[in-house]
Structure 1
Amino acid sequence: MAEPSLYNSNSVRLGNGRKLALHALWIGLIASGVVWLVFHYFVLVKGEFGPEHSPFEPLTLKVHGGLAFLALWFGGMMWGTHMLKAWSQKRRRWTGTLLLLIFATLIVSGYLLYYAGDEGLRANVSLIHWIVGLGIPVLYLLHRLIKRF
């Protein structure tokens, strides 16, 4: 007699634990990115030689980068347990594909932000990265709520 499975292998739905962890990760990523944006563009502190960026700005960037590495691991988990199954069942392909393209854009732009040496390139990539990142919650809600696409 076969052992009972902990999850339905044909289901594209994530278990409650994985869903909670994934949502916590995305909230952390978006929050740390938004906090970095606020510190970077709107918070200046009085320094020895005039206004300078907050000392908390690098910390928010480190938290964001650490969560991004964790998101890569979760992306691999999502590929095998959710995306491939949903694709074969022809479920929400448009919004899922858009999310995948957005995540790929964030991965590539994050890589360039970390490794690109040209400051002009980094400034443009940074703008793309945070604009695209801020759009994820809207696209995620569309993916969850619109059943046809």
Structure 2
Amino acid sequence: MRLKSSFRYSLYAAFSVLSLTGAGWLVADWQKDVAGDEIWQMTAANMLMVHGGVAMLSLLLVGALIPVHVLRSWRSGGNRVSGSVMAAFNAVLVVTAFGLYYLGSEIVRPWMSWIHLGAGFALAAMFPFHIWLGRRHRGREQLRSRSETKS
């Protein structure tokens, strides 16, 4: 189910910024422990602020995506497997983000962090694949409808 351009590009932008700030935070966090320089601590903090702000925006976008894309695509039978994987990764990211922000447990926090990082990078890898599968599926349907119209 193709989305309106403005909505689609908003999703692309939000997920790109989330991926870049997540990766940027990871690098800065590693560097602050290695280099011990104040700039890496500030960079990590800034990456987290931007990441958190864009995450709030992406929650709105994903929420809006459910009725206009997810439910319609599910009913039409298109791209169900990769769409389900995308939804699962997003759910894991929401739960682990909540845990990272609100749980103060030093035992749980490292686990939440690694799960969040893994799901985030997996979603970043899955996102273009999901788009490609959807376009391929839509292309096949267009060819099928053209051949049915000619006969």
User: Same fold by TM (over 0.5)?
Assistant: yes
Confirm whether residue 16 of structure 1 aligns to residue 29 of structure 2.
Answer: no
Cα distance in 2 for partners of 1:34, 1:67 equals: 14
Cα distance in 2 for partners of 1:127, 1:71 equals: 21
Residue of structure 2 aligned with 1:70, choices 57, 69, 74: 57
Match of 1:42 in 2: 31
Q: What is the one-letter code of the residue matched to 1:134?
A: F
Q: What is the one-letter code of the residue matched to 1:104?
A: A
Confirm whether residue 137 of structure 1 aligns to residue 124 of structure 2.
Answer: yes
Match of 2:94 in 1: 107
Match of 1:117 in 2: 104
Cα distance in 2 for partners of 1:46, 1:34 equals: 19
Identify, as 1 or 2, the structure richer in strand. Answer: 1
Q: CA deviation at 1:53?
A: 4.9
Match of 2:140 in 1: none
Task: Provide the alpha-carbon RMSD of the alignment.
Answer: 1.6
Mark the runs of 5 or more structure 2 residues left unpaired by the alignment.
Answer: 138-151
* TM-score, reference length from structure 1: 0.83
Match of 2:115 in 1: 128
Deviations 1:20-45 (A, max 9, x none): 11111111110110100000012434
Give aligned pairs, total: 133
Deviations 1:46-65 (A, max 9, x none): 46xxxx95222111101101
Deviations 1:87-137 (A, max 9, x none): 010000000001000000000000000001101200111011011101112
